[in-house]
Amino acid sequence: MADRIKVRKEDDIIGWYNQVLLNSEVVDFSDIKGFAVYRPYGYEMWESSMYYLDSVFKERGVKNAYFPLLIPESLLTREKEHVKHFNPEVAWVTMGGDSLLDERLAIRPTSETIMYRSYSKWIQSYRDLPMLINQWNTMVRWETKETRFFLRGRENLWQEGHCVFATEEEAVSNAEDMIRVYKKFSEEVLAFPVLMGFKSEGEKFAGAVRTYTIEAVLPNNFASQVGTSHYLGQNFSKPFDVKFLDRGNRSQYAYQTSWGVSARAIGVMILIHGDNSGLVLPPSIAPIQAVVVPIMNGKSGESVEAYAGEVYGALKALGIKVLLDDRREYSPGWKFNEYEMKGVPIRVEVGEKEVKERKVSLKTRFNGSKDEVPFDAISTIPDRLADIQREMFERAEALMKSALTVETDRGEFVKKLKEGKYIVKAAWCGNPMCETKIGDETGAVSRMIPMTDDELLDKKCIFCGQEAEHNAYFGQSY
């Protein structure tokens, strides 16, 4: 219920976020820091995400597989950049039953190393390529910072795709294709826009040649990485011996990609759309798209109940995910609060008046608008849901635009980043040392460099004054 949220979104976005998540029964704490319980209402959103993405992957010929949860330490440490990054955040299994193990086993922080070990056995010739494999699983990264539901957990629900190609060209094209898939997922399913580009040398994935990223902008103007797609070149195929005989019978190292999106996307969606009454869900991800609430009093009860059933049946026949809540133990007012908290896009009220006039009263969650339509107009509700989806995206797009700014003055650049009120675009040298200094001074780092050519805002780097390489977006982030 609305009064269970004691913090306003505009005052303390993270405090608000936690209260919304707990009260809407999306997630819960477990006894271990950073290990969330995904309750049915929250998990169902992840299931819808999986359903959408899985079919897009399969259209591209990607097959699902499952690789072990545990990775021997010796395997994890084979690619040097990779291990340097991941080692400090690995959870280690050291005992099986009562016995100490000979070698420590890492719970997968990501599966490059264990998958490519298999790939080197499975790939013999060009005929085995491309190899396109994905897995849906959870990964564990032992965060020492404060953890947050969805955004920064120690255990995280995600998918990781790992593809192998005979040529660099195919691999780069796959990595770029997949980041576009993630962008479309954010826009069309989760109804928020993203900035798409690639990461700086300092921020890219450990072991990648290039990391493509999509970044969302949260209502507090922080950025959040929603999905990444890595072109790995031959950085893993060499240490893991992923080779193939080409048509000329020559042995070649393969070119690889890996790409992943996690349930963080759900958290970002909730942060962007939610309000002080709770979740506000886009119809494409909502576990319940419409809820029918009968308002019964006294003798009209039976006819209202019957009519509510008829309305429910009509909505169901249209393929809408609809719930009829005719429980007598709860009052209509309780239900109104409950489904507002749960972010159900459309509430359908049916009372004595509606029965008499053979109509329904509708309330739209995202903008609070109310109207009445005749029973026969129920057939237009799918269009109404599509309109809500589009309008929610447009509202989120306007929000993102208001957070973006361009800067050519060093002082202003530093000031804006420190305040954390903008995502700032500026000309930049791209040097990791320069990025470290920006981080030290402002707490912000680069979020991404646009993929498409972009006219340089300045010939010189906004921060160090060296020659600018490209424009980049900088900002605070979770």
Residue ranges in contact with its own copies by CB under 8 A: 28, 30-32, 35-40, 43-44, 46-47, 63-70, 72, 75, 87-98, 104-105, 107, 114, 117-118, 121-122, 127, 133, 138, 140, 142, 144, 154-155, 157, 327, 329
- Tell me whether residue 88 or residue 374 sits nearer to its own copies (CB atom): 88
Nearest distance in Å: CB 157, its own copies: 6
- Tell me whether residue 43 or residue 307 sits nearer to its own copies (CB atom): 43
> What span, in angstroms and rounded, lies between the C-alpha atoms of 273 and 391?
11
In sequence order, what DSSP letters do the residues of 351-401 get, joined into one string? -HHHHHHTEEEEEETTT--EEEEEGGGGGGHHHHHHHHHHHHHHHHHHHHH
- Tell me whether residue 64 or residue 303 sits nearer to its own copies (CB atom): 64
- Tell me whether residue 157 or residue 217 sits nearer to its own copies (CB atom): 157
Nearest distance in Å: CB 337, its own copies: 16
Burial bucket for residue 138 (CB in 10 Å: 0-12, 13-18, 19+): middle
> What span, in angstroms and rounded, lies between the C-alpha atoms of 128 and 148?
42
Nearest distance in Å: CB 469, its own copies: 34
- Tell me whether residue 200 or residue 257 sits nearer to its own copies (CB atom): 257
- Tell me whether residue 92 or residue 333 sits nearer to its own copies (CB atom): 92
- Tell me whether residue 95 or residue 302 sits nearer to its own copies (CB atom): 95
- The values of phi and psi at residue 223, to 5°, are -95, 155
Nearest distance in Å: CB 36, its own copies: 7
Nearest distance in Å: CB 91, its own copies: 5
Amino acid at 455: E
Nearest distance in Å: CB 342, its own copies: 14
- Tell me which residue has tokens 């059933």: 309
Q: Contact 175/130 with Cβ under 8 angstroms?
A: no
Nearest distance in Å: CB 440, its own copies: 23
- Tell me which residue has tokens 């959103």: 45
Residues in the chain: 478
Nearest distance in Å: CB 154, its own copies: 8
In the three-class reduction of DSSP (H, G, I as helix; E, B as strand; rest coil), residue 99 is classed as strand
Token couple for 162 = 């790992």
Q: Pick the closest to residue 243 from 224, 256, 262 (CA basis).
A: 256
- Tell me whether residue 53 or residue 424 sits nearer to its own copies (CB atom): 53
Q: Pick the closest to residue 300 from 334, 348, 350 (CA basis).
A: 350
> What span, in angstroms and rounded, lies between the C-alpha atoms of 20 and 28?
11
CB contact burial 419-428 (16+ within 10 A = b; e otherwise): ebbbbbbbbb
Q: Pick the closest to residue 67 from 101, 105, 116, 103 (CA basis).
A: 116
For residue 121, what are the contacts with CB-CB under 8 A and spacing of at least 6? Answer: none
- Tell me whether residue 16 or residue 43 sits nearer to its own copies (CB atom): 43
- Tell me whether residue 131 or residue 472 sits nearer to its own copies (CB atom): 131
Nearest distance in Å: CB 298, its own copies: 23
Omega prior to 130 cis, within 30 of 0: yes
Nearest distance in Å: CB 138, its own copies: 6
